[in-house]
Structure 1
Amino acid sequence: MRDDAHDDDRVRRKLRGAAQAHRPDRERMRARIERGMAEGERRPERRSKATRHVGSASWLRVVSATAAVAGVFAVVGYGVAAVLRDEEPSPQSVATSTTPAPPTAAPDPDRTPDAPARTDDPPDRTPDAPPRRPSGTPPTPPKSPGTSGTSGTPKSVPADRLLWADGSVDPGSSTYWSQSDITVKARKPLTALTVEVRVAGSGEVADTGNWRSLPEGDFDVSATERDGFLVYRWTLKDGRTVPVGEHVFAGQFNHPGGKRDAGGDTYAVHAGTSDERAVWRGDFA
């Protein structure tokens, strides 16, 4: 049994090898068939019975040969299928060919290269360059943003165009204490305002406080002794505005007993808008 199985395997291997190695010459068989058909067509239509018989016989031989070849192919294919039906078909690679690209034509040494496109720009100026300025012409200075030909500094005007002011000793003053009042009447909304009161008798007078009728947060306030005076100063903060109307600024201080003479006291009001400025000065006489 083992020898028979071994023989069967060997026969199978041989059949498989023969089947894989077999390459039928299809072109040769097709040529023979076409040649036989061509010979039959070249015979004259009017022929004798004997000739027709012979032609028919030749045609039968061609057909028989073709059928025989087909039968051989069928038998061989059936045998190969019987041998290989239990085997997985081995993958086959298909050779492909790429069409070569046409050769690039070599440049003609006698051919003159194409001239570059002509432009209308002069040879000494590129398309993106600014126009040339005639010699001797000074360059135009750049314009500063936000200016319109003016320096932007407010001009000085008569004081009464912006305000009116008056200095007085408050009626509530007493023998040992006094209050100096500055009344300011703004004729326009003021974007700048500084009110300063100078009380004579430094060393004899002492600050006890101050106030103003405008919001406290709109001003920076100071009270200092300088050059023989007690100086009160109220300065409007940046971005704040003093509205049109009457406003009061007051400085309070102690002094030696008795009625005090305010003849040496002075005041000054510096006011301004976006385009005007003015100064008002006075005393308490």
Structure 2
Amino acid sequence: MRYLILISSLLIMLVQPARADFRDLFQRQFVDKPWAGAPIINEGVCIQCHTSKLMKQDMLKIPQEWRMSIHGKFNVSCHNCHGGDPSDVAKGCESPHGGLFIGTPKPKQVPRMCGRCHVGILKSYISSGHGKALMERGIGPNCVTCHGSHRIQKANIDIINRVRCSQCHTYERAKTMKQALFTVENRFKEIEDGIKQVKQEGAVTEDIEKELFRTMADYRALFHTVDVQLVRKKTGEFGDRLDKIQKDLSRIAGELRFRKTFSGGLFLLSVLMLITYHFATRDKKEEKTENKEG
């Protein structure tokens, strides 16, 4: 009897849905819990100064804006953009290479500053109407014009809107670009939601998350060309890439469903076997008792 129970338990454990790796599990169970507090971020000297009473009023808002930004979420801190040494008060406003740190960059300096990380986007921007207007005539929009400086949010097509775009030109051209981006951007959102769902169920999705990130980065670099015809032309290629990611995601979701169904079926089978065993042994005992009495 006990061997039957042991074997059944082992079989059920073996067919349980694949669990996320240790880091994902730890993140979900401990770091992301409300009681875990805010993520630990090495803010350094920059934040200490910009929250002190000696700082000018308009500078005091910078730390809070940064904490609410996509940069703050991923711990891209002040020195990553502005230079300086955030661990040393004496060197806090100096570049690690000995020169002065970058304070508020001039409009033409902004794209190169952001482009140190956003390489693909910089290349597209420089060749775009926006980039040429800025570099050649000094009057075009730069990264900050559309994305802001410190409270930078995750890229999405809502950045393209009448209020922002009509500061420089009519909204009609921008609206056409937004329409061209709409379908692919919606698919990004659907796949992201699908990944979150299967991760919550224990699937390991690292590979498809990386591929989705690469696809999103390439697509957003493309639309920084602000070339509507080019975006429309390339949209099909990105659709094919997303089809492949969606196929991989559907496969993972299917495997999870199968394992859950199989686990449930095996559990019921085990219960049925135990019940059958119970009645069989009981009948056998009753038969022996009757034989003795006879």
TM-score range relative to shorter protein: under 0.3
Who wins on radius of gyration, i.e. which is larger?
1
Higher normalized helix content (fraction of residues): 2
TM-score normalised according to structure 1 size: 0.20
**TM-score, normalising length from structure 2?**
0.20
Structure 1 or 2: more strand by fraction = 1
